[in-house]
Structure 1
Amino acid sequence: MQLKLNSKHLILRVIDESDAERALAFVRRNREALAEWEPDRDEDYFTLDVQRQLIQNDHRMMEAGHGIRLWLCAAEDPDGDLIGTVSLNNIIRGAFQSCHLGYRTDAGHRNKGYMTEALSHVIAFAFDELNLHRIEANIMPRNGPSLKVCERLGFKHEGLAHNYLRIHGVWEDHIHMVLLNPSWTDK
């Protein structure tokens, strides 16, 4: 599936197996920086074969309509480093019309406003093109920068999920944040 969103500073697109080495470079380069925010990864995760498999899994997930993973690169250097991902996971249709949001940024590109920019475009896509009603983000209370990004984009706190996800070997609480599609709020 070809999907590409352009913003002022970024290109957000679905990658294919030809980008596996770039994806591998991203996870290797950010191994330590992302470790405290992600599940524990075994050594296989940091191999080209596993990154290819993950890209294939992403394509199957998209074909089934269950999720989308977009990779970010700088608009000025589209063939350069991949600098982050945004994922819409667990897309559920029917009465729910909802998904979970996930994202991560390259350590060398944090605090530049890129994720806020990327998420604003992905949110518009989720609401306008996918016709979703609700986007949910679950964020550890100690992840202040991530909480600020979601708050800046209009997400509201809906509560605290205790021991919600096992992150870096520890069951972590997460703040449940939600953004509703404004065109659906009166329906």
Structure 2
Amino acid sequence: MATREMYELSGAGFEKSCDLMKSLPPDLFAELCQQSIRNLQCENCGVDQTLLSQRFQAAGVDTNVDEVRNVLNAVDYLFSTAAKHKLSTDALLNTVASHYKLPKQTLQVIRHVWNEEGKKLSDIKCSRDLLPAAKLLDFQWKIGMAVSSDSCKSLNHPYVTVELKVAEHSGQVQHKVFEMTIPEFRNFSKQFKEMSAALENV
């Protein structure tokens, strides 16, 4: 049941997110909800929580980037769970109102956003859980030669360093670096070619 899943969000962390939701002016909360919806529909590559935090602070809301990220995650979860279970607007509002004690103006924003976007979000076919995956922004690789190592027994062997630049759904950009042996990289390359061939047939 969606009600039970949403209830599992309760706890100190989520209660703090609800406290921040209560302090947001309706227009800023509506902006956050709209960004969440666009993100869940994969229409953007993440939400800039730093910019949102600055906007909230300019409006007199005492917050920081981490708190904004937590609120965004909470809103993402509410909408994604509602979409996954194809909740009506009334069912969503009853669940939220009964568990989270949000003020009327906050509930009105949720009602408006879900009336406008809920059906479209619920109809997305790739809605396994509707929490968006990270987006690959850049892919770099280079070949190197191991000349010294505390753990590697076989030096003077070539290796490939891969660096990925990834935008998470929260808006954070992460750099992920890993190394592969030449056989591992060949297998990696082969899998990419197989994916490319499969996509051409779609």
TM over 0.5: same fold? no
Identify the structure with the greater strand proportion. 1
Larger Rg: 2
Q: TM-score range by the shorter chain?
A: under 0.3
